[in-house]
Amino acid sequence: MNRYITGAAIRELRLQKNMTQLQLAELLSVSDKTVSKWETGKGYPDITLLEPIAKAFGVSVTELISGTRISNRNVSANMMRSLFCVCPVCGNVIHTMGEAVVQCHGIQLRPAEPEPADERHMMSVEQIEDEYYVRVSHDMTKSHYISFIAALSPDRMQLVRLYPEGNAEARFGMRGVQKFLFWCNRDGLFQREAHCDEKDGLP
């Protein structure tokens, strides 16, 4: 783990709770000198104390370690708010529906910001019976490829994983789909609305 709770984070959270070092120490069954060492960077709390510390401050262990408060504003669980984090080391794709602290291979990942599909990453969409058949114009080489295509609707997220030297295409159930997202390993995340191409004669 390349990140751990910092003394500055402990101090800030303690002050936000209007708590003295002694009061925190009593809650954790340690001495106030121990808390002082944590806050001055002369020591770290044992990993077994992370959960009690988080409970004392009213935060999650993830928030405690990251130093970032997470507020879940996505109470409606609308999949259209989906966020994707992609690890640059292994290509792992992590999907969230709100704020999250995500790490992979020791790297803290930020959600990718989707851009409109451009001339080098054109997506075509056709309706075949009750499915969308989508294709991305891409060479799909070993070093430059589309790694996934996702279809978003308010109540579901469909994702198809793609691989180098394969085809940049996928099929998705049509019901409720409003948007497509796809990831290029070099150029990042792209999006387009879920409407069929005019050549298909469909809306």
DSSP characters for 130-161?
TEEEEEE-----SSS-EEEEEEEETTEEEEEE
Range among 6-10, 33-37, 97-101, 176-180 rated most confident: 176-180
Q: Label residue 133 exposed, middle or buried (CB < 10 Å: 0-12, 13-18, 19+).
A: middle
Cα(69)–Cα(63) distance, rounded to whole angstroms? 6
Count the helices and strands in the chain (H runs, E runs): 5, 12
Cα(39)–Cα(63) distance, rounded to whole angstroms? 17
Express as a percent the part of the chain with pLDDT over 90. Answer: 52
- Strand-pairing partners, residue 133, are 126, 171
Contacts of 27 (CB under 8 A, 6+ apart): 52, 56
Q: Model's pTM, two decimal places?
A: 0.64
Q: How far is CA 121 from CA 14, 136, 169, 170, 175, in A?
A: 49, 6, 12, 15, 25
- The pLDDT tens digits for 3-58 are 567 788 889 889 989 999 999 999 999 899 999 989 888 888 888 888 899 899 88
Question: Which domains does the chain carry?
Answer: 7-66 (1.10.260.40), 113-200 (2.60.40.730)
